[in-house]
Amino acid sequence: MGQALPKPALRPLLPSDTPMLAAIFVASIQELTGDDYSEAQQEAWAAAVEDEEAFGRKLAGQLTLIATIQGAPVGFASLKGADHIDMLYVHPSVAGHGVASMLVEALEKLAGGRGAKNLTVDASDTAEPFFKKRGYVAKQRNTVTLNGEWLANTTMQKTLADNAAPGVPT
Binds ligand COA by CB under 6 A, chosen from 8, 89, 112, 116:
89
21 binds ligand COA (CB under 6 A): no
158 binds ligand COA (CB under 6 A): no
Q: Which is nearer to ligand COA, 21 or 90 (CB)?
A: 90
The nearest distance, CB 110 to ligand COA, in angstroms, is 17
**Strands of the chain, DSSP E:** 9-12, 63-69, 72-80, 84-90, 118-124, 137-146, 149-159
Give CA–CA dist 51/54, Å, rounded: 5
126 binds ligand COA (CB under 6 A): yes
Q: How many C-beta atoms lie closer than 10 Å to residue 28's C-beta?
A: 21
79 binds ligand COA (CB under 6 A): no
Identify which range of 3-11, 13-21, 49-57, 118-126 contacts ligand COA by CB under 6 A. 118-126
Give CA–CA dist 164/31, Å, rounded: 41
Q: Which residues contact 124 (CB under 8 A, 6 or more apart)?
A: 33, 36, 37, 151, 153
The nearest distance, CB 161 to ligand COA, in angstroms, is 19
Binds ligand COA by CB under 6 A, chosen from 33, 78, 120, 154:
33
68 binds ligand COA (CB under 6 A): no
Rg from Cα positions in the chain: 16
The nearest distance, CB 66 to ligand COA, in angstroms, is 13
State the virtual CA torsion across 59, 65, 68, 71 in degrees, nearest 10. 80
Residue positions counted in the chain = 170
Amino acid at 142: N
113 binds ligand COA (CB under 6 A): no
Residues contacting ligand COA: total by CB under 6 A: 22
Q: Kindly list the residues in this chain that would bind ligand COA in the complex (CB under 6 A).
A: 28-29, 32-33, 88-90, 95-101, 121, 123-124, 126-127, 129-130, 133
